[in-house]
A = this chain, B = another copy of it.
Amino acid sequence: TLMSPSATSHRGPSPPINRTPRKAAAANMYGKCNHPADSSSSCKRLGFLQKNNSLEERSRIVTSFKERAAKNLQLSCDNVGGEARFRRTETDFSNLFARDLLPAKNGEEQTMQFLLEVVEILTNYVRKTFDRSTKVLDFHHPHQLLEGMEGFNLELSDQPESLEQILVDCRDTLKYGVRTGHPRFFNQLSTGLDIVGLVGEWLTSTANTNMFTYEIAPVFVLMEQLTLKKMREIVGWPEGEGDGIFSPGGAISNMYSVMIARYKYFPEVKTKGMAAAPRLVLFTSEHSHYSIKKASAALGFGTENLILLKTDERGRVIPADLEAKVIEAKQKGYVPMFVNATAGTTVYGAFDPINEIADICEKYNMWLHVDGAWGGGLLMSRKHRHKLNGVERANSVTWNPHKMMGVPLQCSAILVRERGLLQGCNSMCAGYLFQQDKQYDVAYDTGDKAIQCGRHVDIFKFWLMWKAKGTVGFEQHIDKCLDLSAYLYNKIKNREGYEMVFNGEPQHTNVCFWYLPPSLRGLPDGEERRERLHKVAPKIKAMMMESGTTMVGYQPQGEKVNFFRMVISNPAATRSDIDFLIEEIERFGNDL
């Protein structure tokens, strides 16, 4: 059998659940009171007294549980052809602790039961996420959660808590969180809960390995290589040639692009620092993501040397402004080095005209990066990929499958057209990791391309989703989301009380609009109207969150006061959810 009645007899009576107030617990990190070696301490007795339970009684209960657990075994484990199949049995987790789980001796049955109990919690969560009668969130203020909700205490303690408490903590963590997969969650560019992607993440965390070498991640390293090649083919680079790597997010991917560009033009910066280069300037649009600015600061260029480009009223770069600013920079003696074109801006969902920007980059010998973190997914759609026309002329491309393609967080790729730059730029040849005298082809040890050392396995969920959906499945998803946003746009563009932030059908799924409560509709344009309108979206949003029915983002942009930015990447969303959102905005906004 897997567990004999005496199997867990090494386990003493359980310590009390630590519920001391925050300060006391902190001061007490190694205090005598809570330490298990302190077997005769008064605290331990206190713990049992709290539960009105003598040592003897407690011990009797534990023994009885163990006997029951042993009896349950025949029921809970069928050994079919060497593969054990576990069934959930009613297990008392209040006397079990982390130390009773594998690798503990005879810990298998407890481990399986604990895992199955967690799976029960998670599958219920998944099921309810897709149920529109469930709230998107159960909002609480930080101080409320910090003070502790009934039974949910965020403080860490010196002593272990029972697995029963751990299961409660898991339930509560989900309860007070936000259901980002809910059909009415529209708050971010990353929404939805893809089941195959989820399975991919569960497996990834079970495999718990690291991408730096083929040695310890053979399958994942190859999956990454093949998937990156496929992405480069879709970008349009001949034969999918080039290079790339998955990074911890779009900001890091964009940072890679600036680093690689610098290495291409001024490789000596790697060894000598920025002092070895002339004054370099970078260009990006006013509407672009702030990560380009973060990269300018971090990499030593300075944010003042990132020149912001004007956009048209739809948020697209005006190429003539780029050329004028390049010429101006050169006249000042600066060296224009890098241009970021955004494919799908964060707020407007605008696509910069890549071909026209590429012409200028070629003319002035600048690196062209396309930030397709949000819009890259449209490359999968025959109907919409024309919005990225010219992307094949880019030197590098950021593309986040965790946004428009619904892959669970995190999954971001930086693709580079020229092979060897990533390696050249980042390689430090650490001997302890990237030995050249291994028995396999060490060209597959790709870790030295990264600015990281250890690197999380972000590829598997994406690879698995691609297998399960096929290229056509991603295409259908993207086309459907864009159809839904067109539906929203058409619904509100002439609706009373709505004003669009820019004219015309959106290029991406971003629909930007103001809602004007009836009390504002008669007001003339002017400061009062602006001030009042600026407060509408935050108020509606706050009410949405407190009622928990839906979530959508808002922000100001330049001179424009707060407006809603609706985005659709959620595969669960339907027209009825769009209708619901509008109803909610009007319900909450009507009396403002």
Contacts and interface: CB of A to CB of B under 8 A. Distances in A.
Interface residues on A, range: 35 or more
A199 B456 contact: no
Contacts of A453: 249-251, 289-291, 294
24 contacts: A18-B470, A101-B196, A102-B127, A103-B130, A115-B123, A125-B206, A142-B444, A154-B463, A157-B467, A157-B471, A160-B472, A193-B208, A204-B205, A208-B408, A249-B456, A272-B302, A272-B304, A272-B305, A273-B274, A274-B302, A275-B275, A289-B430, A439-B545, A439-B546
Given A209-B177, A555-B435, A454 B126 contact: no
A565 interface: yes
Given A86-B123, A146-B222, A431-B555, 19 more contacts: A26-B229, A98-B465, A112-B123, A142-B222, A142-B440, A145-B219, A160-B467, A160-B472, A166-B464, A173-B207, A205-B205, A249-B454, A272-B305, A273-B304, A274-B275, A289-B430, A297-B426, A435-B554, A439-B538
Interface in A433-483: 433, 435, 437-441, 444, 450-457, 460, 463-473
A346 interface: yes
Interface in A204-225: 204-210, 214-220, 222-223
Contacts of A130: 102-103, 108
Contacts of A290: 428, 430, 453
Contact of A409 (B29, B83, B208): B208
Given A465-B98, A467-B165, A198 B208 contact: yes
What are the nearest 3 A-B pairs in CB distance?
A: A300-B300, A273-B302, A201-B205
A99 B251 contact: no
Given A160-B470, A470-B159, A300 B274 contact: yes
A155 B229 CA distance: 10
A587 interface: no
Interface stretch (A46-54, A178-186, A492-500, A525-533): A178-186
A488 interface: no
Which of A141, A470, A554: most chain B CB closer than 10 A?
Answer: A470
Given A141-B440, A202-B205, A233-B26, A428 B293 contact: yes
A544 B209 CA distance: 19
Interface in A108-128: 108, 111-112, 114-116, 118-127
A208 B125 CA distance: 12
A542 interface: yes
A205 B195 CA distance: 11
Interface string A231-269: 001100000100000001111100100010000000001
Given A198-B206, A206-B122, A275-B302, A562 B470 contact: no
Contacts of A464: 166, 169-170
Which of A141, A250, A551: most chain B CB closer than 10 A?
Answer: A141
